[in-house]
Amino acid sequence: MPDGRLLEWLKHDLRDGEHSPSDETVLELIEDAKRLITLYLRRPEKLRPSAVARELNSLATHLNKAAKAAETLGNQGLLMIVSMSEANLDSDELDMRQHILYLQRMAVWSRKAAEVADQHSRSAQDHKGGNTPNQNLRELVALLLMAYQEILGIRPSHTINPATGLVERGASAFIKQALALYWADHTFEPRLIDETVRRSLLVRELEFFDPPPLPAS
């Protein structure tokens, strides 16, 4: 069975470690990886932070244009809009200024949100472009790394085999094995997964803390 093959692969990969987790612990990691991947398979695709920043800036620009157009039209334009919507309003109740202020406020907050998204993009090294993963894959890899560390008690490492240019052992290799098994209808570029793991480790700076020793009685 596939889970059995992944179990044997993981046990073999961990054979030279400082400590060898029990079969129960390894199975717990496999089940958690299966749960996380299955969960993310059902999620709609999210925009990358750099794309969010770009779209928010575009929204701010168009909101400013809309505010200027509304200012030019004034109540004359608003009266025509209301008449087309068949809203039951008297002309005395019409005031385009409140709509102009709303559009202007939305433009300001969209621009501020774009700045935050751009900072997020840079912290995740997403602004460099190239063959980069979507946001769902980034989040999934980060969660799988945390599961690997917390369940196995092993801090993830990232060692590239110079002969192949790929990471063939450890957390990154496990994630590639799990994705191939539980997300079988999608082919992931191995180097893309390795790079996503590398960036996640740099950004999150995951650390494993051993519990402090108990005081002597």
Q: With 70 as the cut, is the pLDDT of residue 204 above it?
A: no
| Percent of the chain clearing pLDDT 70 (strictly above) | 81
The span from the first CA to the last CA of the chain, in angstroms, equals 49
Residue 119 lies in a domain: yes
Residue 173 lies in a domain: yes
Query: Model confidence over 116-174: pLDDT tens digits?
Result: 988 877 776 655 555 555 778 888 998 999 999 999 988 887 788 888 888 888 899 99
The pLDDT value given to residue 217: 43
Q: Is the domain of 123 the same as that of 53?
A: yes
> What's the token pair of residue 105?
């406020």
Residue 214 lies in a domain: no
Q: What is the dihedral of CA 172, 174, 178, 180, to 10 degrees?
A: 70
Pick the last residue of a domain from 112, 127, 142.
127
Residue 211 lies in a domain: no
**Mean pLDDT, residues 61-85 taken together:** 85
Residue 141 lies in a domain: yes
Question: Residue 103: helix, strand or coil by DSSP?
Answer: helix
Rg (the chain; Cα; Å) = 26
d(CA 190, CA 87): 57
Mean pLDDT (the chain, rounded):
81
Question: Residue 130: helix, strand or coil by DSSP?
Answer: coil
Residue 22 lies in a domain: yes
The pLDDT value given to residue 151: 92
The pLDDT value given to residue 88: 63
Indicate the number of domains in the chain. 2
Q: Is the domain of 25 the same as that of 120?
A: no
Domain range for 156 is: 2-46+133-204
Pick the last residue of a domain from 103, 127, 151.
127
This prediction's pTM: 0.58
Q: Is the domain of 120 the same as that of 157?
A: no
Pick the last residue of a domain from 98, 127, 156.
127
Torsions phi, psi of 140, nearest 5?
A: -65, -45
Q: Is the domain of 42 the same as that of 137?
A: yes
**Mean pLDDT, residues 50-69 taken together:** 91
Query: Model confidence over 27-41: pLDDT tens digits?
Result: 999 999 999 999 888
Residue 215 lies in a domain: no
Residue 121 lies in a domain: yes
Q: Is the domain of 159 the same as that of 100?
A: no
The pLDDT value given to residue 212: 46
